[in-house]
Every structure is written in C-alpha cells, then in structure tokens.
Amino acid sequence: MSQTFTYTEEELVALLKSNDKRAFEYLYDNYAGALYAVILKKIEDTTLAEDVLQEVFVKIWNNFSTYDTSKGRLFTWMLNISRNLAIDTLRSKSFKKQSKIQNSEKAVDYVSNNINEDEKFDALGIRNQLNRLSQEHKRIMNMAYFEGFTQDEISKQLGIPLGTIKTRMRAAILELKKILQP
C-alpha cells in the first residue's frame, strides 16, 4: 500500500496514543510485511501465521498505552510482540498436537530462502546489498532478532562461547550498518 504521506516516529506514536484510526492503518501499511515475515520464521503455516499477525495488531492497538518510548523504538516493541506471540503459539498445547516445533536449523534456512520472495517492498536495493552480509553474522542476527532464541540457545546452536555472543552480535550489526550506509 503506497502512502502519500509519512509520519515521523514521534507523530505516529502520538496519534496512536490518541487512538487515531488512520495512524493504525499507516502502521499496518508500513510494518505488517516486516512483522509477518518475523512470524513466518517461526510458523510456516500461513493461515496460522496470519492469525498470529492479527493478534499482534490487536495487541498493538489495545495495549498501545504500555509502549514506553524511553525503552526503544516503536518497531522494536512491535517486533518483540510479534516474536513473543509466535513463540507463545508454538508452545501452546493445541499447536504442539498439530505439528512439531521446527528445529532452529530449518528456521534459519527459511530466512535465507525467503529473502527474495517479497517484491512489494521497495528496498530491493537494500536486500541485494544485504546479501553481502557474512553468513555467520546473518545467522546470529536472525536467531536473536527474528526468532528470539536465548543467548544460551544461540551459544549451543552456533558453537560459540556464551560470553562472546555480545561481541559477535556487535560485529554483525556493525557490518549491517556499514552495508546500509549510503
């Protein structure tokens, strides 16, 4: 959905705090795709993933008063909600009956496989640039940021000491910043 106007983050937050419907639509138009992709990394089934996405936006709308700007950016907050709801759904009993929890290796593969699927997002250039990210850095960012693995899980999965995850993550994000710089 193309937008003929843009809000600054401050404007958007202020409008959402006052229950502005148009701001909610704007939020959807600009962030639904990114959040949906995060959910899909945990939940392969698109119907179920869409259900989760709907819960995410309902939660964002109903609990917007709990968003605290001093703790971080709006997107970070929304991404946390998405990730947590996806994880909660996976852990729920009803879900466990239906399918097994995907192993993390498969989930990581899913991320790289889906990188070029969505042609709608206009940052195709950025997407191509991001292919330059080292596989190692991509993996640690995806596991943490998209899939919400704990440091302990990441340590075991990647076979790196727990204490070096911080520095590894910093190196990954520094590389990301460098690539994103114009």
Partner 1 sequence: MTKEEFISSGLLELYATGISSQEESRMVQEYLTKYPDLLEELKQIEISLEKYAQANSIAPAASFKEKLMQRVFPGEEDNKVTAPVIYMKKQGGGSFIFKLLAAASVILLLVSIILNYTIYRKYHDTKDALQIAQQKMEQQDKSNRAMSEDLNVMTNKYAQPVVLSGTAQSPEAVAKIFWMKNTGQVYVDPTNLPQVPAGKQYQLWAIVDGKPLDAGMITTKKGIYHIQKMKSFGKADAFAITLEKEGGSPTPTMDAMIVSTKL
Q: Rule CB under 8 A: which residues touch partner 1?
A: 1-5, 21, 24-25, 28, 32-34, 36-38, 40, 46, 50, 53-54, 57-58, 61, 70-73, 75-76, 79-80, 83, 111, 114-115, 117-118, 120-121, 123, 126-127, 130, 141, 144-146, 148-151, 154, 165-170, 172-173, 176-177, 180
Rounded to 5 degrees, what angle do the CA atoms 73, 69, 54 make? 60
Least distance CB 134 / partner 1 (angstroms):
14
Least distance CB 156 / partner 1 (angstroms):
14
Cβ distance to partner 1 smaller for residue 96 or 170:
170
Q: How far apart are CA 129 and CA 34, in angstroms?
A: 17
Least distance CB 14 / partner 1 (angstroms):
18
Q: How far apart are CA 12 and CA 26, in angstroms?
A: 9
Least distance CB 99 / partner 1 (angstroms):
20
DSSP code per residue over 131-171: TTS-HHHHHHHIIIIIT---HHHHHHHHT--GGGHHHHHHH
